[in-house]
Amino acid sequence: MAQRPAAASPLELTRRSFKAAGSGDYELMMSFDGRDSVLDMAAWGLGVHSGQARIRTFFESWIDAFTEFEMDLEEARDLGDGVVFPVAMQTARDERRHGSLQLRHAAIIVWERGVAIRMTNYRDIDAARALAEQIAKAVT
């Protein structure tokens, strides 16, 4: 009898979700979120988006504003208890406006049963890292 493959770890799910974000495949991107997931972009002044439909709308508006978009995961740290701290670089270009954008940011993602239930993005990577370290101490 064949064994069922082990579920992916929160760290592996984080890696896959960032790769999906860089792919432009919205169905794949949304496969990591649940019906009640929350994307918190408040630190960027971009609001809090609750539920798959609103999260998808946010990502479509953001990514589709550019003619080229890439998301590269620079690091990811498993903090335990389903919490992951990733740092990523977004590189985007809009040939229509002859502009480009490069954003380095951090997040704290909480995974539960294979679903990202809360993703909070931060502009200040050092402050986010300090918060992530506090969370890691609290869960160990």
Reported pTM? 0.89
Q: What is the pLDDT of residue 139?
A: 65
Query: What CATH architecture is 10-139?
Result: Roll (3.10)
Specify the residue for token string 């490069």.
102
Phi and psi based region of residue 41 (left: phi greater than 0; alpha: psi -120 to 50; beta: remaining): alpha
Q: What is the pLDDT of residue 6?
A: 55
Tokens of 13: 């799910």
Per-residue pLDDT of 38-78, as tens digits, reads: 999 999 999 999 999 999 999 999 999 898 999 999 999 99
Q: What is the DSSP string of 27-83?
A: HHHHTTEEEEEEEE-GGGTS-EEESHHHHHHHHHHHHTTSSEEEEEEEEEEEEETTE
- The rounded distance, in Å, linking the Cα atoms of 53 and 30 is 9
Tokens of 38: 């929350």
Specify the residue for token string 């919490």.
83
Q: What is the pLDDT of residue 140?
A: 59
Which stretches in the chain have pLDDT values below 70?
Answer: 1-6, 139-140
